Structures are given as C-alpha cells and as structure tokens.
C-alpha cells in the first residue's frame, strides 16, 4: 500500500495504491486525519486508479473521513475508480455520499 498527496490551488488529491483493508486502513486513517488537521484546502479528491481491493474496513475508513470533512464543509470526491472498486462503491452505496469526478 502506498499513499501520497498533491495540492493544486484549493484542491488536495490523495493517491492510494494497493489494497484498503484491515491491515492498511489504520495507516490511511492516520494519513488522512493529519492532512485534514493541517488544512489549507477546500476540496479533497481520492484517486483510486491503483486500488485493487477494498473490504468493509476500507469502506468504514472512507465514511469516517467523509464525515470529518463534511463537518468542516469540505466536499470529498473520488476519481479514476478502478473497475473492482467501482463495483464495491455501487454495491455499498458509497456513491450516494461520495461523488465521482472525472
């Protein structure tokens, strides 16, 4: 699993590679929480092009970050969702709260 971010103007994009599961979710949660605490952006996009697998722990981690950002009036989006993760987003209803951008 890998994670890095880049900020362009008022948008921070977080790039995740590998799996989002019970083993990687704590590290991802910590990374996102530090990024949110630091602030300095108005929008967050998670690029999921290189994510191969996500379990319920990953779904919970994303929902938790969504809630933190919503409390700060910062929208969360996903981009370049892989086919495998797209199925998970559709089945779990994540697209109802986290919009996909192109």
Q: What is the DSSP secondary structure assignment for residue 78, as one 8-state letter?
A: E
Cα–Cα distance between 46 and 80 in angstroms, integer?
9
User: Can you read off the two tokens belonging to residue 40?
Assistant: 């300095």
| pLDDT score at 102 | 82
pLDDT digits (tens, 9 = 90+) for 16-53: 999 999 999 999 999 999 999 999 999 999 999 999 99
pLDDT digits (tens, 9 = 90+) for 86-96: 999 999 999 99
| pLDDT score at 89 | 96
Q: Which of the four CATH numbers 3.30.750.24, 3.40.50.800, 3.30.465.10, 3.40.1110.10 does domain 2-101 have? A: 3.30.750.24
Identify the burial level of 81 via C-beta atoms within 10 angstroms of its C-beta, where 0-12 means exposed, 13-18 middle and 19 or more buried.
Answer: buried
Q: What's the predicted TM-score (pTM) here?
A: 0.95
Q: What is residue 59's three-state secondary structure? A: helix
């Amino acid at each position: 699993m890998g994670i890095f971010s880049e900020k362009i103007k008022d948008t921070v994009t977080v790039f995740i590679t590998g799996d989002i599961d019970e083993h990687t979710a704590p590290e991802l949660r910590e990374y996102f929480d530090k990024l949110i605490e630091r602030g300095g952006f108005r929008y967050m996009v998670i690029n999921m092009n290189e994510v191969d697998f996500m379990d319920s722990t990953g779904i919970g981690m994303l929902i938790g970050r969504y809630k933190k950002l919503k409390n700060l009036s910062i929208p969360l989006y996903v981009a370049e969702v892989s086919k495998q993760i797209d199925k998970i987003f559709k089945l779990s209803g994540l697209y109802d709260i986290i919009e996909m951008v192109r």
